[in-house]
């Protein structure tokens, strides 16, 4: 590359965002320019039982193609398990049979939601370029990986070639400084952003979270942030990896040799890298947020929704039922009971997190309060199974979306909130500021 003066410029010296660095690595080059089109080599592809074999297998068959590298494709059963009807049984059976016949070694079967079990098993690492067959695949960006969701046609192309084209994204930097108050968490950040930036605020670019409030978050709270970048209309969300990232991966069982090959300092934005938009927020001033039916953009401080009668409290989904989420709910529920006429349903996001919650006593707190334990699967969040909300029900959920009919009958109404607020509401039977119970 040369400047107009004719002075040669080393691409390695050009300032770049974290997104540019990740895409450049996948494209096999030293620097990429936002807006340009590049071909990227895929480190890993992921599908679940709804988006995966039943949709991509016919496409691959018609192409006369096989999976380019079976070891780089992970399939997770999480939408249709446990099977609740013959159709679900057929889908799960086809998934298992096809994975076996295609020689795919990585089937994570009925162990939890794909966005959690994938990093749990060490598949999501800093610097990686990953394609997922689900809209909430940006969850992987919490680890400093470039991960985004695609449809079945694009996934079939990835599986056949190991590559995908990409328009190099611009970066929207959201800097959160200060410290979150007790009773406020990552879910509140995202409901605030959905309300203030809107569901198209991400402009199908990359959102990068920075600032002292972000680096103070544990990994699973960071995962909530990047997960819900989908709700903001971004292609993906990113958080630069650090010591917290590496410690979580080590605890998850990633081998020492793999970790030793990762230098998290390599995967961060240069201070002078140009961005599309930069916003700065005071985390100290944030309060618990609740999004009213039927959009995540209908967010407002919990005080504006306080008193709304609720009959179902749902703690579930990749956004709201990880171990950290269960711990938050237990803080509120300890020593308390679910209100009369109220149903509290808890669906831990993974079997591993449920086991850890049981070992440390968190699960006992939830069950002692009167919670009903549901399977480690998507359940009502994806509109499947017996846990769907019936007509006329009024629910509050720790999920990512509350569109009409998504979690049950179109005549149900769903408010979105943090696990803290959902738990507080379960205790009182009406939307409640969790800070009043934590105090």
131-168 pLDDT, tens digit per residue, is 999 999 999 999 999 999 999 999 999 999 999 999 99
Q: Are residues 131 and 255 in the same domain?
A: yes
Q: Is the pLDDT of residue 4 over 80?
A: no
Q: Which of 256, 282, 308 is the last residue of a domain?
A: 282
Q: What band does 11 get if pLDDT is binned at 50, 70 and 90?
A: low
E strand residue ranges, 178-276: 206-210, 236-238
pLDDT of 173 > 80? The answer is yes
Rounded Cα gap, residues 172 and 232, in angstroms: 11
CA nearest to 289, candidates 180, 184, 146: 184
Write out pLDDT tens, residues 179-205.
Answer: 999 999 999 999 999 999 999 999 999
Same domain (yes/no): 197, 298: no
Condensed to tens digits (0 to 9), the pLDDT of residues 219-234 reads 999 999 999 999 999 9
In the chain, the number of structural domains is: 2
**Structure token pair of residue 160:** 């056949």
Residue linked to tokens 């408010």: 415
Task: Give me the CATH number covering residue 97.
Answer: 3.30.499.10
The pLDDT value given to residue 140:
98
pLDDT higher than threshold 80 for residue 407 = yes
Kindly state whether residue 341 falls inside one of the protein's structural domains. yes
In angstroms and rounded to an integer, the radius of gyration of the C-alpha atoms of the chain is: 21
Confirm whether 6 is domain-assigned: no
Distances, alpha carbon 305 to alpha carbons 81, 289, 414, in Å = 34, 9, 12
Distance CA 20, CA 10 (A): 16
Q: Stretch 63-68: mean pLDDT, rounded? A: 97
Mean pLDDT of the chain: 96
* pLDDT at residue 10 in the model: 60
In this prediction, residues 166-178 reach a mean pLDDT of: 98
Q: Where are the beta strands (DSSP E) in 158-284?
A: 163-167, 171-177, 206-210, 236-238, 277-282
Residue 87 burial (C-beta neighbours within 10 Å; 0-12, 13-18, 19+): exposed
pLDDT at 380: 92
What confidence category does residue 12 fall into, taking pLDDT thresholds of 50, 70 and 90?
low
Residue range(s) defining the domain that contains residue 24: 18-282
Q: Are 374 and 318 part of one and the same domain?
A: yes
pLDDT(439) > 80 = no
Whether 1 has a pLDDT exceeding 60, the answer reads: no
The predicted pLDDT at position 3 comes to 38
- Is-contact 306 394, C-beta < 8 A? no
Q: Which of these ranges, 35-49, 78-92, 109-123, 376-390, has the smallest mean pLDDT?
A: 376-390
383 shares a domain with 253: no
Whether residue 175 is contained in a domain is answered as yes
Residue 2 lies inside a defined structural domain of this protein: no
* Residues 308, 235 within the same domain: no
What pLDDT digit, counting tens, does each position of 248-299 carry?
999 999 999 999 999 999 999 999 999 999 999 999 999 999 999 999 999 9
From the number of C-beta atoms within 10 Å of its C-beta (0-12, 13-18, 19+), residue 263 rates as: exposed
Per-residue pLDDT of 299-346, as tens digits, reads 999 999 999 999 999 999 999 999 999 999 999 999 999 999 999 999
Residue 341: its H or E element: none
- C-alpha–C-alpha distance, residues 363 and 279, integer Å: 38
Q: Domain check: are 121 and 29 in the same one?
A: yes
DSSP letters for 236-254 = EEE----HHHHHHHHHTT-
Does residue 7 register a pLDDT over 70?
no
Has residue 9 got a pLDDT over 60?
no
Q: Are both 338 and 360 inside the same structural domain?
A: yes
277 and 299 housed in the same domain: no
Tell me, yes or no, whether 255 and 340 share the same domain.
no
Q: Are residues 254 and 300 both part of a single domain?
A: no
Q: Which alpha helices (DSSP H) does 28-130 contain, by range? A: 53-63, 86-101, 114-120
5 within some domain:
no
388 domain-assigned: yes
Torsion angle in degrees (nearest 10) through CA of 124, 126, 129, 134: 40
Residue carrying structure tokens 């994806």: 382
Question: Do 304 and 276 lie in a common domain?
Answer: no
Q: Which of 229, 263, 282 is the last residue of a domain?
A: 282
Query: What pLDDT does 13 receive?
Result: 76
pLDDT at 49: 97
Residue 7, in any domain of the structure: no
Residue where one domain finishes, among candidates 252, 282, 312 = 282
Domain-located, residue 123: yes
If asked whether residues 197 and 306 sit together in one domain, one would say no
- Average pLDDT of the segment spanning 96-106: 98
Task: Give the confidence band of 387 by pLDDT, cuts at 50, 70, 90.
Answer: confident
């Amino acid at each position: 590359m040369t400047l107009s003066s004719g002075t040669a410029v080393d691409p390695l010296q050009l300032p770049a965002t974290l997104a540019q660095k990740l895409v450049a690595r996948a494209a096999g080059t030293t620097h990429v320019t936002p807006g340009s089109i590049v071909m990227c080599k895929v480190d890993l592809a992921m599908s679940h039982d709804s988006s995966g074999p039943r949709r991509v297998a016919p496409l691959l068959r018609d192409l006369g193609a096989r999976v380019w590298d079976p070891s780089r494709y992970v399939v997770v059963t999480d939408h249709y398990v446990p099977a609740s009807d013959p159709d679900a049984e057929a889908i799960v059976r086809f998934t298992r049979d096809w994975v076996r016949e295609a020689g795919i070694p990585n089937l994570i079967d009925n162990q939890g939601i794909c966005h959690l079990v994938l990093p749990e098993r060490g598949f999501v690492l800093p610097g990686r370029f990953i394609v997922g067959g689900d809209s909430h695949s940006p969850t992987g960006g919490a680890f400093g990986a470039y991960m985004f969701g695609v449809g079945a046609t694009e996934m079939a192309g990835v599986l056949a070639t190991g590559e995908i084209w990409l328009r190099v994204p611009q970066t929207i930097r959201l800097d959160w400084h200060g410290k979150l108050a007790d009773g406020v968490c990552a879910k509140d950040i995202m409901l605030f952003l959905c309300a203030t930036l809107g569901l198209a605020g991400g402009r199908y670019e990359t959102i990068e979270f920075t600032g002292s409030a972000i680096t103070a978050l544990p990994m699973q709270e960071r995962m909530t942030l990047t997960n819900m970048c989908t709700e903001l209309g971004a292609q993906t969300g990113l958080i630069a990896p650090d010591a917290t990232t590496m410690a979580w991966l080590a605890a998850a069982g990633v081998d020492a040799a793999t970790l030793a090959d990762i230098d998290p300092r390599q995967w961060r934005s240069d201070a002078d890298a140009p961005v599309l938009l930069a916003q700065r927020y005071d985390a100290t001033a944030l309060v618990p947020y609740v999004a009213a039916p039927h959009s995540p953009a209908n967010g407002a401080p919990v005080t504006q929704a306080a008193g709304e009668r609720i009959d179902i409290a749902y703690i579930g989904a990749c956004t709201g039922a990880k171990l950290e989420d269960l711990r938050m709910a237990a803080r509120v529920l300890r020593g308390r009971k679910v209100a009369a006429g109220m149903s509290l349903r808890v669906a831990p996001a993974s079997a591993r997190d449920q086991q850890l919650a049981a070992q440390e006593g968190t699960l006992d707190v939830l069950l002692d309060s009167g919670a009903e334990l549901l399977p480690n699967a998507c359940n009502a969040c994806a509109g499947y199974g017996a846990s769907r909300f019936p007509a006329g029900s009024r629910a509050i959920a720790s999920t990512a979306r509350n569109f009409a009919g998504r979690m049950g009958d179109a005549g149900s109404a769903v408010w979105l909130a943090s696990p803290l607020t959902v738990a507080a509401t379960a205790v009182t039977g009406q939307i409640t500021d969790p800070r009043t119970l934590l105090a």
